[in-house]
A = this chain, B = another copy of it.
Amino acid sequence: MTDAAESVASSGRRRKSGAATIYDIAEAAGVNPSTVSRALNQPGRVSAKTEARIRAAADELHFQINPLARALPTGRTNTIALIVADITNPVVFETIRGAERAASIAGYTLVISESQESGAVEANTVERITPAVDGVILGTTRLPDKEIVRLAERKPLITLNREVKGIPHLASDPSHGAQQLVDHLDELGHRSIAFLGGPSRSWMSSRRWEALLHAARSHGIAIFEIGPHSPTLAGGAAAFERAEASGATAVVAYNDLVAIGLIQEATRRGLRVPDDLSVAGFDDIFAAELITPPLTTVRSDLRGLGSDAVRHLLRTIGVGEPVDGTADVTTELVVRGSTGTVRQN
């Protein structure tokens, strides 16, 4: 228990924090502080003998480098920031996870910041965090393009699911999963699909629509878009009437929340899913397998998205292999109970 206290007592030089510095080590090992720095950071740059002595002293004193002090002369903080609008969003946290993992493996710390409110709040947050990191990932951003460009001028930056010209970006590519989904619906006998679009200018919604359209054409299946809809349970419930009136036997929603909202409303109105109507979504959120019936959906490799983003950033900073452009992440169909064969009437 007096461990820390003892080591403090044994070496004169200490200040506010009880932490040992390279000066303490230098003193203990009988070398110059600069030699300590080299021994600890540039293995081989110092004779094996003194390096050993220095490492021993460092261990003895429980030395931990002060990352702030190191950052000043080098300009490297070994930290990168991930800005997201909403941590609660199930789509977001797998991304966070992937990013965390990749950062941690590279010895980097990930700062996650939620910008919830307005784009103004986000701008503030970003402004505050930027000087303290080596790069930033804009996960779900509401910043205007010009602001993003401005930021990219000061620090390496990458956006997720958002295209700004001249800025590196990464997204999940819905085509594979969409094709699988349409193949699946085709097999079940569906000839007409309704797509419930997301928010009016959602980039991801149009990408999903395009992918479905392409796949439907390949099967000669009719497809049309209904919307826009808010990406929520309420959005899905509100879509019910038009979806039913459309005569489509299968409806694919912009995301799982909308799909679940639709299922709930359909059930409330006396329809049975999938017997009367097949429903599918995108994202594969946690709740998708808990509802009744469990939801058929297209899952993205979000974890891969997060880790790819980190790796890309690190590479542009000079850690790891040189950058070779960005490649979107893939998607995959998860078949569960909300899709079934077309009812014969």
Contact = CB atoms under 8 A, between A and B. Distances in A.
Interface of A: 3-4, 16-19, 64-69, 71-72, 75, 77, 79, 87-88, 90, 93-94, 96-97, 100-101, 104, 109-114, 116, 125, 127-132, 150, 153-154, 233, 260, 264, 286-287, 290-292
A59 B104 CA distance: 37
B66 A68 contact: no
Nearest to A125: B104
A87 B93 contact: yes
Contacts of A90: 286
A104 B260 CA distance: 34
B127 A64 contact: yes
A131 B66 contact: yes
Given A72-B72, A109-B113, A110-B113, A64 B131 contact: yes
A77 B66 CA distance: 12
Given A19-B131, A69-B72, A87-B97, 14 more contacts: A4-B154, A16-B75, A72-B72, A87-B87, A88-B93, A88-B94, A93-B93, A101-B116, A104-B125, A109-B111, A109-B132, A110-B112, A287-B290, A290-B290
A29 to B, nearest CB: 21
Contacts of A97: 87-88, 114, 116
Nearest to A90: B286
A18 B154 contact: yes
Name A's interface SS.
Answer: helix
Given A87-B96, A88-B93, A129-B109, A68 B72 contact: yes
A225 B172 CA distance: 46
Nearest to A89: B93
A125 B108 CA distance: 10
Nearest to A149: B1
A311 to B, nearest CB: 18
A290 B71 CA distance: 48
A278 B40 CA distance: 62
Contacts of A101: 116
Contacts of A127: 64
Nearest to A127: B64
